[in-house]
Structure 1
Amino acid sequence: MAEIKAPMGGKVIKVSVKVGDQIGEDDEVAVLEAMKMEMPILSEDDGTVAEVKVEAGQTVEAEQVLVVLS
């Protein structure tokens, strides 16, 4: 299982995947707003989305798990 984590604290403004989605390396899984900039969060691995741990509007901390792949 692979975890996709927030690189820094901020607000999740978009979740681009749902449980069961097949994603590839460099696919967008979420968009994070931090320091007044929008930052796409990309997958580093291929896999199937097993769990989405955040939702749009949620504030997250650095290194918080956003998505779990299987």
Structure 2
Amino acid sequence: MADIKVESEITGTVWKIETGVGDEVAEDDVIMILESMKMEIPVLAPESGRIKSFHIDEGANVSEGQHIVTLET
């Protein structure tokens, strides 16, 4: 099993976390939704796996390239 770091592609705010630690996700499933300049941008699972940990909370500000989720494959 390998860990994959999921990074934010934008600078914005965590609007809603759609999954929980331990949840199984398929490639391209929505993990969370970020908001930037009134636009909602989904963060998608890069491949199938299990959510190992979140490194942010809903409402938190995130920067582009920031490690926000660890996915275990």
Identical-residue share of aligned pairs (%): 33
Equivalent positions of 1:53-64 (< 5 A) are: 53-64=55-66
Deviation per CA, 1:18-60: give whole Å up to 9, x if none. Answer: 1111101000001000122111111111111110111110000
When the two chains are superposed, the root-mean-square deviation of aligned CA atoms in Å is 0.8
Structure 1 residue ranges (4+ consecutive) displaced by more than 2 angstroms after TM superposition? none
Provide structure 1 residue ranges, at least 5 long, that are not aligned to the other structure.
none
Provide structure 2 residue ranges, at least 5 long, that are not aligned to the other structure.
none
Tell me the matched-pair count. 70
Query: How does the TM-score come out when normalised to structure 2?
Result: 0.90
